[in-house]
Structure 1
Amino acid sequence: MYRTHNNGELNINHLNQNVKLSGWVQKIRDKGFIVWVDLRDRYGITQLVFDTERTPKAILDKASELSRECVIQIEGQVIERESKNKDISTGEIEILVQDLVVLNTSKLPPFTIEDQTDGGEELRMKYRYLDIRRNPVKQKLIFRSQVSMAVRNYLSEQDFVEVETPYLIKSTPEGARDFVVPSRMNEGQFYALPQSPQTFKQLLMVGGLEKYFQIVKCFRDEDLRADRQPEFTQIDCEMSFVTQEDVLNTFEGLTKHLIEKTHGIKVEEFPRMTFEDAMKTYGNDKPDIRFGMKFGELNEVAQHKDFKIFNEAELVVGIAIPGGASYSRKEIDKLIDWVKRPQVGAKGMVYVKLNEDGSYKSSVDKFYDDKDLKAWAEKTNAQPGDLIAVLSGKANETRAQLSALRMEMGNRLGLRKPNEFAPLWVVDFPLLEWDEDTQRFHAMHHPFTSPKAEDAELLETSPGEVRANAYDLVLNGNEIGGGSIRIHDKQMQSKMLNLLGFSEDEARKQFGFLMDAFEYGAPPHGGIAFGLDRLVAILGGQESIRDFIAFPKNNMGRDVMIDAPATLGDDQLKELGLELNIQKNE
């Protein structure tokens, strides 16, 4: 037996008991005649004491030679600490050690294994197994496990069946780039790793399972950022004989359950907003509604004067920044520089101070009088003391730029509080979006999303105006889930693929198996997929997903710990029929 208790378990009620403990050496304080050691495991820290009066000399000598992060086992008696530590659960006691076994030694770690470490991110990723020993990372992984268990329990209670779908599938032309896997037994042919189990879960509905879920790995070969990895995890779900309303109600229930389970907070409101309203009011389709600063469109009150920049713009739009009227000219100039950064892309910013006394001061006083500026204040719902920030230009670009500014100011003003949760359904997305480069339509969600029944006739005449029977769940300004009611009719699916530019032969080659299945009594069905990594991060009060993943990739898609991806040897390449790559590797 390596231990009778863990290192977060013992307290004053265990006084005088003989115990065995095991773990890693966190800290050593050696005074010569007495040695204190902090022993750490997953559960906490227990202080050990070795001294010349009460500890056998051989054991005290061993303790003097210990180094940080070596693994030890001790046996000793629980005694009361003279100097108590209220910050840890074991802070009232310590262990008077009678026996010590070194289970494994440790090299000096490349960074300190403490909550506040001196290791940079790339170094910690290289030694991720050491980083996981630190409480901030360890607790995030435990939290992820708790969320996953809560998901499984909830969906199982709702009669969902967990089914595993294949990882080795066929590449399809829609969506992001696939990761591909060469087949040794079928030379010259390749599997693809799934971007989602979409078609398989639809086939499970054809198979009559009615309610399916899976916590599943998915893969996309795309550029990375803080909330994106080449491999990620979805909570994938599908239901038969459901309308959009049924799906939304079911997964509102799951989201409420997770927030209450993890934070003890009951969320009752799940407002709904159309895609069009989200774009006009917040400039993006995943708005953070924990704070205001709603957009005010100013075309009708700003394009009647001699200000050429506004007159030539497709859209003039502004927000009211709370308390911004107190900003100095230098602070406002910094804000203008911020929106002009390449990451945002605005050419400039017009501002209006609505002073506490009700007067106005703007950067365009030459063109607009107080009556004009009052109209701007009304459109943006500005109050005395606010700063109105106005951008102009092409509609879509300007909305995106102002949305970035809104989110930045929400962060700066402390309005995006991690312990507040504001879910939102965004509905009525366009079914299709036109791509100028390829001169064809692309699916806004994916090719299997059904159109709104009332818009179906427009597919023949005005496909760009058709709304999708689709929905996204947004939490605190992040999309955490998305789904739709699916097409379950072969003719409608063929029409959709034709609109997306697939010839009849191409459609048959790529998706013939699905359309064949639709001819055998496919039920109406729909579903949703949550991004587990992002959901866990937001529930954990953060937006970066990396620390909630045990072994993440870096910004170049590399695992710096195991040094992957890596080249293959010539023998492997030949076996896979990839001899052409040998010269490139050389």
Structure 2
Amino acid sequence: MRTHFCGLVDESLIGQTVTLCGWADVARDLGGVVFIDLRDHEGIVQVVAEPTDEGNAQVMAAAAQVGYEDCLRITGTVRARHSVNDRIRTGRVEVVATKIELLNKAEPLPFHAHENAGEDIRLKYRYLDLRRPEMQKMMRTRIKLVQSLRRYLDERGFQDIETPILTKATPEGARDFLVPARMHPGEFYALPQSPQLFKQILMMAGFDRYYQIARCFRDEALRADRQLEFTQLDMEFAWVTERDVQDMVEEMIRVVFREVIGVELDAQFPRMTFEEAMRRYGSDKPDLRIPLEFTDIAELVKHCEFKVFTDWANAEDGRVIALRVPNAATLSRKQIDDYGAYAAKFGAKGLAWMKVEDAAKGREGVSSPIAKFLDDATLAAILEATGAQGGDAIFFGAATYKSASDFMGALRIKLGRDLGLVEGGWKPLWVTDFPMFEWDEEEGRFVALHHPFTAPAVDTIEGLRTNAKSAVSRAYDMVLNGNEIGGGSIRIHRPQMQSAVFELLGIGAEEAEGKFGFLLDALKYGAPPHGGIAFGIDRIAALMAGTESIRDVIPFPKTTTAQCLMTGAPSPIPDAQLAEVHVSVRPKPAKA
């Protein structure tokens, strides 16, 4: 139907006849001459319909009827433009129409592509939203990302292998999406949260280097960086250590960023342990573009008169943090109260603060509701430890180590963004040496911080059992600008160690056999040391595209209420269809 794409018409085609297909982005009638901006996925070109010596009546009549988003096919001759438009790739040429065909008339649209429409209406009419040049650009960034990843891995001997979508429900993760098995009444498949166990078994089967652009599913709450279904680059390597995996994929990410968006990342990504990341930034995915760090002051306030500080400074699992923010003494009391309310969303019971006018004056140089509870020596020690200068503000957090780290970590990000402290550029790093387990107070047992197939750093079962609370795993995450873009680990490759980890997680032998018997069997037959990593395609694409929401780089995303507004999913299923899969639906509980 066409000879060229709209956005690729250039000066090399001057004098030639072209046939183009696309949508009318803009149509302007300027007193007998009609200009149409014709758009396709490659861009926009200006089409001119003008009278000729022969009259050109058919073309002029057709041009006069063109409306916004009409679907057109236009044939014409390329010529140089009188007024150059350097903002578009085709801005030095235009197409003089000799034939205009209306392929499909567009009814009045629910929103204009150039207006700032709300997300709900954009998602309901996603096919219109995706026509917009900015959305086309973001989607093409994602496409280039996947192409670059595949090219890199294919050239290095990785094998693209598909793993099952209908699989077995497993514990120790988010909620599974369940699929009733029609041929096995009362039994269910689960959609995979990741291809984890299958890729490990592929290593045991001798495939050595595996990858897959995998669709994964987790029935969990949605937010800007999380969807019910998502795409990850899944990878696994046999006969490797942590550094083998990290060095390979680090180079891959450097190459991909260079190819897709022309960005040169660090020649070698820095490495930071989980313990250091939490101590300095209160996060296991710290944004290093924000130059704010914590100062632990528990030793300085153990005997002060401020009970909140002394209680947590003397508690076994307590933490007292000071966060110095340069030039923040100008914050109003209302602004500070707002930051306190923000920290409360992440678990803070309160937010103490101090404004520093002149650090050299000690008590006379600070303003703070808690200063009266601190003696001169303690106050001076806090100012010295934090490096406070005149004009700074200091925020304090006191709670359990985890809680204080969480809400002060969130506050650090908020302050950094609000006060314009986020530096430009890209700051990647590796976070390593994660805890093996977390203690779940509600369930009264350990849970895996990553997943239950991650190898512990200690090589003996007895060593793991003895020090389970402080055990470190062989897990690692790649972080970029405060976003975890990839996570992986060296896996357990001995059945005895895997059984011991299940036991520590409260998964008894019978349950382990029922849910993971195939894995335990596979580990018995010479399973090699192996490890891997998975990268979030959606998150990386969003970073590359410069958007904060992964919904902008997913063609058909769900809303935060887990709905597809375009198709109306999820929706009720007829009773007859439910009966085929031996499922009945309980009525919704009546509202109180």
TM-score (norm. length: structure 2): 0.93
Flag the 1:453–1:158 CA change in 2: closer, same or farther, 3 A.
farther
Flag the 1:104–1:478 CA change in 2: closer, same or farther, 3 A.
same
Flag the 1:286–1:183 CA change in 2: closer, same or farther, 3 A.
same
Which residues of structure 2 form unaligned runs of 5+? 313-317
AA of the residue aligned to 1:102: L
Tell me the equivalent position of 1:273: 272
Does structure 2 retain, via aligned residues, the 8 Å contact 1:570–1:582? no
Does structure 2 retain, via aligned residues, the 8 Å contact 1:24–1:72? yes
Give the distance between the partners of 1:276 and 1:582, measured in 2 at CA.
47
After the TM superposition, which residues 3-14 of structure 1 pair with which residues of structure 2 at under 5 Å, given as runs? 3-14=2-13
SS at match of 1:457: helix
Tell me the equivalent position of 2:327: 323
Tell me the equivalent position of 1:41: 40
**Alpha-carbon deviations, 1:87-138, whole Å to 9, x = none?**
1122222222111111111111111123xx2321000001111111111211
Deviation at 1:33, TM superposition (A): 1.6
Does structure 2 retain, via aligned residues, the 8 Å contact 1:377–1:388? no
Give the distance between the partners of 2:128 and 2:563, measured in 1 at CA.
18
Confirm or deny that 1:102 pairs with 2:102.
Answer: yes
**Alpha-carbon deviations, 1:3-41, whole Å to 9, x = none?**
222112223443332222111001111234221111111
AA of the residue aligned to 1:575: E
**Alpha-carbon deviations, 1:306-340, whole Å to 9, x = none?**
22222223322111112112334444344334334
Confirm or deny that 1:386 pairs with 2:385.
Answer: no
Does structure 2 retain, via aligned residues, the 8 Å contact 1:573–1:582? no
Tell me the equivalent position of 2:315: none
Confirm or deny that 1:344 pairs with 2:325.
Answer: no
Give the distance between the partners of 2:352 and 2:587, measured in 1 at CA.
57
Higher mean C-alpha deviation, range 559-568 or range 532-541:
532-541
Flag the 1:382–1:155 CA change in 2: closer, same or farther, 3 A.
farther
Tell me the equivalent position of 2:153: 155
Tell me the equivalent position of 1:52: 51
SS at match of 2:45: strand
**Alpha-carbon deviations, 1:155-193, whole Å to 9, x = none?**
222221111000000111221110011111112111100
SS at match of 1:312: helix
SS at match of 2:321: strand
AA of the residue aligned to 2:38: L
After the TM superposition, which residues 54-133 of structure 1 pair with which residues of structure 2 at under 5 Å, given as runs? 56-114=56-114, 117-133=115-131
AA of the residue aligned to 1:299: A
Deviation at 1:60, TM superposition (A): 0.8
**Alpha-carbon deviations, 1:191-249, whole Å to 9, x = none?**
10000111100110110011111110000001111100000111111111111121111
Q: Percent identity?
A: 45
Tell me the equivalent position of 2:534: 529
Tell me the equivalent position of 2:355: 353
After the TM superposition, which residues 449-488 of structure 1 pair with which residues of structure 2 at under 5 Å, given as runs? 449-453=454-458, 456-488=461-493
SS at match of 2:372: coil
Give the distance between the partners of 1:584 and 1:436, measured in 2 at CA.
31
Tell me the equivalent position of 1:19: 18
Tell me the equivalent position of 2:237: 239
After the TM superposition, which residues 181-580 of structure 1 pair with which residues of structure 2 at under 5 Å, given as runs? 181-261=179-259, 262-313=261-312, 314-340=318-344, 343-355=345-357, 358-359=360-361, 360-363=365-368, 364-368=370-374, 371-417=377-423, 420-453=425-458, 456-578=461-583, 580=584
Give the distance between the partners of 1:269 and 1:353, measured in 2 at CA.
39
Give the distance between the partners of 1:508 and 1:27, measured in 2 at CA.
65
**Alpha-carbon deviations, 1:359-408, whole Å to 9, x = none?**
43131332335653342233223344321111222322121111111001
TM-score (norm. length: structure 1): 0.94
Does structure 2 retain, via aligned residues, the 8 Å contact 1:110–1:119? no
Give the distance between the partners of 1:92 and 1:259, measured in 2 at CA.
31
Following TM superposition, where does structure 1 have runs of at least 4 consecutive aligned residues deviating by more than 6 angstroms?
A: 582-585
Give the distance between the partners of 1:330 and 1:503, measured in 2 at CA.
53
Give the distance between the partners of 2:82 and 2:360, measured in 1 at CA.
64
Deviation at 1:582, TM superposition (A): 7.9
Give the distance between the partners of 1:185 and 1:392, measured in 2 at CA.
56
Give the distance between the partners of 1:455 and 1:481, measured in 2 at CA.
28
Does structure 2 retain, via aligned residues, the 8 Å contact 1:456–1:466? no
Does structure 2 retain, via aligned residues, the 8 Å contact 1:26–1:68? yes
Does structure 2 retain, via aligned residues, the 8 Å contact 1:455–1:466? no
Flag the 1:145–1:387 CA change in 2: closer, same or farther, 3 A.
same
SS at match of 2:95: strand
**Alpha-carbon deviations, 1:415-437, whole Å to 9, x = none?**
335x5111111111111111111
Which residues of structure 1 form unaligned runs of 5+? none
Superposed CA RMSD in Å reads: 2.0
